[in-house]
């Protein structure tokens, strides 16, 4: 393919994919990217160049579409693309701020690989550790009074990681959106995110779905068996 054809193809792909903001990767969007990806290595290189341009050159905020393309490309068996991908994004597409209280790279790796059960466990550990840093008291779980000690930047980073590597399906902000859209009715929220079965809370871990087949908002888990106060404080006090 000549340089001019590559340039035209790159412009066409950029216009097709990045013509709107994505909160979730729809089946139509997934199908479109699959078609581009399956066309061949030239198109896969274009996809890679576009997320390099968006994140590293133009310094755009990393979004769901970037995470989806990154996860798609990292599964390719093309050595050239894999090498280039890991050169530019050795830790993933979300560049973690040094000012954060904890290093969330292990979580980023788990989410990239869609190891959602382990990612969920680690997220809970991070939340407890963040409170421990502020209060100097060890935590096994969070009380509603602990929410005030969660630093906003760290919490937003956790939420972003979950959204970026789940096609926009998972994250605390997704759960909050569903809660609000159901008039802040907790029973409806549990039902929508599939945390209950016939009115009974599901048992951990076997009752939950640890794949992208889960409904929106299903992950990460929050211990609702201790009541709704902690999650309520999280939704109300954090500006997503």
CATH classification at residue 183: 1.10.10.1770
pLDDT at 240 over 60: yes
For residue 159, the number of C-alpha atoms closer than 13 Å in the C-beta half-sphere is 20
Alpha carbon 195 to its chain centroid, in Å, reads 19
CA-nearest of 146, 155, 149, 48 to 97 is 155
Assign 2 a pLDDT band (cuts: 50, 70, 90). Answer: low
**Domain span at residue 118?**
105-237
Assign 148 a pLDDT band (cuts: 50, 70, 90). Answer: very high
pLDDT at residue 30, rounded to an integer: 96
Q: What is the mean pLDDT of the chain?
A: 93
Domain boundary among 88, 120, 137: 88
Same domain? 109 vs 144: yes
Whether residue 235 contacts residue 171, with contact meaning beta carbons closer than 8 Å, is answered with no
Assign 91 a pLDDT band (cuts: 50, 70, 90). Answer: very high
Would 190 be classed as within a structural domain?
Answer: yes
pLDDT at residue 95, rounded to an integer: 96
pLDDT at 81 over 60: yes
> What tens digit of pLDDT does each residue of 6-23 get?
677 888 999 999 988 899
Backbone angles phi, psi at 200, to 5 degrees: -110, 135
pLDDT at 155 over 60: yes
**Type and span of the H or E element at 197:** strand 196-197
The span from the CA of 155 to the CA of 33, in Å, is 30
The span from the CA of 52 to the CA of 90, in Å, is 12
For the whole model, what pTM was predicted?
Answer: 0.94
Same domain? 26 vs 120: no
Would 141 be classed as within a structural domain?
Answer: yes
Largest CA distance in the chain: 63
Same domain? 68 vs 8: yes
pLDDT at 89 over 70: yes
pLDDT at residue 21, rounded to an integer: 86
Place of tokens 């399906």: 169
User: What is the share, in percent, of the chain residues with pLDDT greater than 70?
Assistant: 96
pLDDT at residue 227, rounded to an integer: 74
For residue 114, the number of C-alpha atoms closer than 13 Å in the C-beta half-sphere is 16
pLDDT at residue 146, rounded to an integer: 93
Q: Calculate the alpha carbon distances from 140 to 91, 113, 124 in Å.
A: 29, 26, 9
CA-nearest of 149, 143, 119, 94 to 221 is 119
Number of domains within the chain: 2
pLDDT at 135 over 90: yes
pLDDT at residue 237, rounded to an integer: 82
Same domain? 110 vs 84: no
Would 27 be classed as within a structural domain?
Answer: yes
pLDDT at 150 over 90: yes
Same domain? 112 vs 48: no
Would 26 be classed as within a structural domain?
Answer: yes
Same domain? 55 vs 160: no
Exposed e or buried b for every residue in 74-102, given b needs 16+ CB within 10 A? eebeeeebeebbeeebeebbbebeeeeeb
* SS3 track for 14-57: HHHHCCCCCCCCCHHHHHHHHHHHHHCHHHHHHHHHHHHHHHHH
Same domain? 131 vs 182: yes
Between residues 7 and 92, the one the model is more confident about: 92
Residues 6+ apart with CB under 8 A from 86: none
The span from the CA of 197 to the CA of 204, in Å, is 13
Would 32 be classed as within a structural domain?
Answer: yes
Range with the lowest mean pLDDT among 7-16, 138-147, 178-187?
Answer: 7-16
> What tens digit of pLDDT does each residue of 193-209 get?
999 998 899 999 999 99
Same domain? 84 vs 122: no
pLDDT at 134 over 90: yes
């Amino acid at each position: 393919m000549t340089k001019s054809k590559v340039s035209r193809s790159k412009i066409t792909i950029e216009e097709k994919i990045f013509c709107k903001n994505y909160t979730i990767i729809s089946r139509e969007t997934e199908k479109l990217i699959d078609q581009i990806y399956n066309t061949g290595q030239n198109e896969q290189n274009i996809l890679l160049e576009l997320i390099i341009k968006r994140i590293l050159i133009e310094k755009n905020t990393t979004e769901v579409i970037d995470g989806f393309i990154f996860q798609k490309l990292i599964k390719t068996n093309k050595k050239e693309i894999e090498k280039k991908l890991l050169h530019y994004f050795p830790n993933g597409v979300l560049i973690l701020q040094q000012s954060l209280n904890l290093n969330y790279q292990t979580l980023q790796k788990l989410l990239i690989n869609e190891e959602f059960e382990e990612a969920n466990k680690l997220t809970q550990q991070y939340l407890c550790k963040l409170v421990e840093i502020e209060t100097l008291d060890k935590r096994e779980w969070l009380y509603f009074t602990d929410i005030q000690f969660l630093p906003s930047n760290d919490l937003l980073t956790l939420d972003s990681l979950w959204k970026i590597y789940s096609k926009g399906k998972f994250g605390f902000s997704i759960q909050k959106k569903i809660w609000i859209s159901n008039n802040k009715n907790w029973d409806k929220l549990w039902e929508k995110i599939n945390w209950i079965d016939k009115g009974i809370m599901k048992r951990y871990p076997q009752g939950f779905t640890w794949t992208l087949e889960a409904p929106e908002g299903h992950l990460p888990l929050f211990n609702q068996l201790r009541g709704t106060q902690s999650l309520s404080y999280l939704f109300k006090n954090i500006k997503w």
